[in-house]
Amino acid sequence: MAGPISEQRVWEELGEIVDPEIPVLSLVELGVIREVEVREDGVRVALRPTFAGCPALHVMRAQIGERLRALGAARVEVEVVLDPPWSTDDIRPEARPKLVAYGLAPAPSPIIQLEAILAAPRLCPRCGSADTEVRNEFGPTPCRTIHYCRACLQPFEGMKPV
């Protein structure tokens, strides 16, 4: 095998792993990869959970381990870090249209005042209308909310602003 893996190659590989619950975003686009460190004996990745109880976290950890070992890393350490806490602001701006296309309304950004952000109408990802309301600040995963569009009379989901 030709030399150690470059840090850039690791980032590229992580950019190929998708979030198991939002499969249109890579872990890099989701903003959960905090740090990559290539060491002599392997690779260390610092991973931030979106939410503490996120059930997808262990899947992400396992996938990172598998993919980087397949690249030739002898040892892969995936460390869960909390600092600074993940925020919906950390989702890459260029990834936001992918969320809309997937039917998930991105969270308003930047997060400054939570009450104001929750009170502002979310755009319906299907018809684009702002005539929408929050139906539930809890959704099918910890990081999502449930909304309703009064224009196209359809429910939709959004990213929970944190």
Partner 1 sequence: MRPDLRPLLADALLGLADDEMILAHRDSEWTGHAPILEEDIAFANIALDEMGHAGIWYRLVAELRGEEPDTYPDRLVFHRAPDEFRCIRMVELPKGDWAFTIVRQFLFDSAEIVRLQALGQSHHPPLAKAAAKIAIEERYHDRHLRAWVRRLGLGTEESHGKMQAALDQLWPYTGQLFEPPSSEGELVAAGSFPASEAMAAAWVEGAAATLADAGLRTQAGQPGINGGRLQHTEHLEPLLAELQSVARLEPQASW
Q: What is the contact surface with partner 1 in residues (CB under 8 A)? A: 49, 51-55, 80, 82-83, 85, 114, 118, 135-140, 142, 146, 160, 162
Beta bridge partners, 43, equal: 38, 76
Q: How far is the CB of 6 from partner 1 (least distance, A)?
A: 28
Do 22 and 99 touch, CB atoms closer than 8 A?
yes
Q: Which is nearer to partner 1, 103 or 139 (CB)?
A: 139
Q: Which is nearer to partner 1, 55 or 97 (CB)?
A: 55
Q: How far is the CB of 137 from partner 1 (least distance, A)?
A: 6
In whole angstroms, give the CA distance from residue 42 to residue 113: 41
Q: How far is the CB of 159 from partner 1 (least distance, A)?
A: 13
Q: Which is nearer to partner 1, 12 or 58 (CB)?
A: 58
